[in-house]
Amino acid sequence: MRDNLIAFVRKYVNFSDEDIEFAQPYFTDVILKKGGFWVKKGEYNADVAFINKGMLRSYFIKDNVDITYDLSFEDQIITSTSSYSQGLPSIDYIQAIEDCDLCAITKINLDFLYSHSPKWERLGRVLYENYTVQQEIRLRSFISETARERYEALSKHKPELLRRTPQIYLANYLGITPQSLSRLRREITK
């Protein structure tokens, strides 16, 4: 386990050095080059990964168009929810949009940690609760905010996304076309 992953898990649960040492053998390092896939639609991949370095996008294809619905970068967790939670093949793609350095654990090993350590089980519950809240906030923003309001919220809370994300993916993420994003940026900078 990397130092930044250890710091990340300790933000949520008071892990001792022994708790960390117990879990260490179950994690593996994964290097994913820009354009590489963590998972593709139709594949089964229930592994969970912590992003040490890099950025990934989660997307699906509708009418031959990629629709990016999530962007993940350092100090975040990624997984194929359909594979992890339901044991099904992935319904979406997770692709690196930068070179990525990940720290991964299989679902089997994570379930083992959960069953043998109340602290690891608590971490899983807390992270899932946080994920659920973030998804609710995102859904609410699409229902109740304009594209400009969503952009301004990103600018305030996740400025890194605006700097690092290619325009096509950022536009998808905001639910607008790249042309609308360009127009929106021009309006805001006036």
Structural domain containing residue 105: 3-140
91 and 184 share one domain: no
State the total domains in the chain. Answer: 2
Euclidean distance between CA atoms 91 and 60, whole angstroms:
8
Q: Are residues 116 and 164 in the same domain?
A: no
pLDDT digits (tens, 9 = 90+) for 80-126: 988 888 889 999 999 999 999 999 999 999 999 999 999 999 999 99
User: 35 and 12 share a domain?
Assistant: yes
Note the pLDDT tens digit of each residue in 156-172. 999 988 999 999 999 99
DSSP symbol at 175: T
Mention every residue, 6+ apart, whose C-beta is less than 8 A from residue 54.
32, 73, 74, 96, 98, 99, 100, 101, 102
Helix, strand, coil shares, percent, the chain, to 5: 50, 25, 25
Q: Are residues 31 and 59 in the same domain?
A: yes
> Is a pLDDT exceeding 90 seen at residue 28?
yes
Amino acid (1-letter code) at residue 179: Q
Domain of residue 32, CATH code = 2.60.120.10
Task: Give the end-to-end CA distance of the chain in Å, rounded to a whole number.
Answer: 46
Return d(Cα 160, Cα 9) in angstroms, integer: 22
Question: If pLDDT is split at 50, 70 and 90, which confidence band does 189 have?
Answer: confident
Pair 13, 90 in one domain: yes
Q: Are residues 92 and 163 in the same domain?
A: no
Residue 179 backbone phi and psi in degrees, to 5: -65, -40
Q: Does one domain contain both 104 and 46?
A: yes
Per-residue pLDDT tens for 119-152?
A: 999 999 999 999 999 999 999 999 999 999 999 9
Clarify whether residues 164 and 183 are in a common domain: yes
Q: Any idea which residue has 């609710």 for tokens?
A: 136
Rounded distance between C-alpha atoms, residue 66 and residue 35, angstroms: 14
| In a shared domain, residues 158 and 117 | no
Asked if 70 and 116 sit in the same domain, the reply is yes
Please report which confidence band the pLDDT of residue 1 belongs to, taking 50, 70 and 90 as the band edges: low
